[in-house]
Amino acid sequence: MSNEQPEASGGRQRPSAVILHVDMDAFFVSVEILHDPSLANRPVIVAHDSGRSVVLSASYDCRALGVRSAMPISRAKQLAPHALVVEPKHTLYYEASHRVMDALREITPLVEQVSVDEAFLDVTGSLRRLGRPREIGQHVRELIWERLSLPCSVGIGPNKFVAKMASTSSKPQGLLEVPPRDVVAFLHPKPIRALWGVGPKTAETLERVGIKTVADLAHTPRATLSKLLGSSGAHLHDLAWGIDQRGIQTEREEKSIGAEETFASDVWDFDSLEVEILKLSHKVARRLRSSSAVARGVTLKIKFEDFSTITRSVTLGSPSNAATVVAQAATQLLKNERPRLRAVRLIGVRCDHLQEDSGERQFTFERADSNWPALDTVADAIAEKFPGVSPLPATLLKSPAKAQSPRLPPEPPK
């Protein structure tokens, strides 16, 4: 078998670049430790501590016990019974994320943020100024630690895919460079499930026909993979040879911002659903403002006890990032569905049709819609000055048990 890389399905691969993938280590947990140093060196799981919640992040000692992101919290507590379950503080995470990305853009303007805790950097044109790739990667790790006291891992490769695989292999708090000459040797011994882009179903399909390693995938004819996997077959074949022609997208438009809540018990009470919508609207609106965005549309998502789901949307009169405006729109959507409501398992609020916030605000003493953004701005300033403090409407200051306690439906007439 030859290790010579084939041409990509879309043509010849572009000349090698130097791409860094920066991935924050257990980001939510690390930010929580920064906020509360007493959590250091202790097993920590970030999640809402309720029956149907899922793990958002876990410390590496918990991961060693099998705890993973998106795992039900009930299962995570079985695997790590001594772990501390910490309620998530999303405002702190987004503030830290902005500071991380600002630091990365000091190294190069060619930064593509792909999530709250990871980004790609193209330093191809900066080697003469910044030094060798490994030196740049080390500088990134030191800069983030000096600025934020947060750990990260850095992968370096000739394209985004190899850089991502390298950072994953170096975690936690590692640095790994995979130069072009070593790409095939680095990728081919890995199990097929380690390949970025191969999910459980795809892995099962491939393993069923004896494709268990990346090398197996690389040496499977492209036509065979297309029959097995459809249009994604050729793409995965390219990745198995380390071929990835995607460039860095410095502007990544976020199409929507949302939040949702899965209840510990199915909720029948309409008032409780209204309170939850208000809480979610404040979360979403804070994220809009932190992204300097306003939304034209609001969508309500409801999942019922039988797992059937509906979504209802509305277009706002003018773009907004005010929590009250979002809540009013979502609540009206809920009221429209009231005759058809039954036991609710999950409810969510999402803002879409986003655009940049012009920043124009006018404060008056009348209860006009234009006042709400100004009030939210004041609340944001308070939260920034006092981390962990989030000013909320009085409605949300009720005890959570009272505000969200499910009620049984009325008994049918006898």
| Catalytic site positions | 118
CA–CA dist 292, 257 (Å, integer): 12
Cα–Cα nearest to 165, from 198, 136, 133: 198
| DSSP per-residue letters across 78-108 | HH-TTPEEE---HHHHHHHHHHHHHHHHHH-
Sign of the CA dihedral running 355, 353, 349, 84: negative
> Is 23 annotated among the ligand-binding residues?
yes
Ligand-binding site membership of 238 (annotated): no
- The length of the chain is 414
- Phi/psi for 365 (5° steps) reads -95, 5
Main-chain phi, psi angles of 411, to 5 degrees? -70, 140
Cα distance between residue 178 and residue 162, in whole Å:
7
Q: How many helices (H) and strands (E) are present in the chain, helices listed first?
A: 16, 12
Asked if residue 185 lies in contact with residue 178, where contact means CB atoms within 8 angstroms, the answer is no
As given in the structure block, the two tokens for residue 390 are 């989030």
Amino acid at 386: F
153, β-bridge pairs: 23
Element (H, E) at 216: helix 214-218
Distance CA(2)–CA(244), nearest Å, equals 20
Beta bridge partners of 84: 44
Give the integer Cα–Cα distance in Å for 119 and 341.
Answer: 42
Distance CA 2, CA 215 (A): 11
Beta bridge partners of 308: none
Residue 128, class by beta-carbon neighbours within 10 Å (0-12 exposed, 13-18 middle, 19+ buried)?
A: exposed
**CB atoms closer than 10 angstroms to residue 200:** 8
Q: Helix 90-107 vs helix 133-148: angle between axes, to the nearest 10 degrees?
A: 140
Which residue ranges make up the annotated binding site? 23, 117
Which residue ranges make up the annotated binding site for Mg(2+)? 23, 117
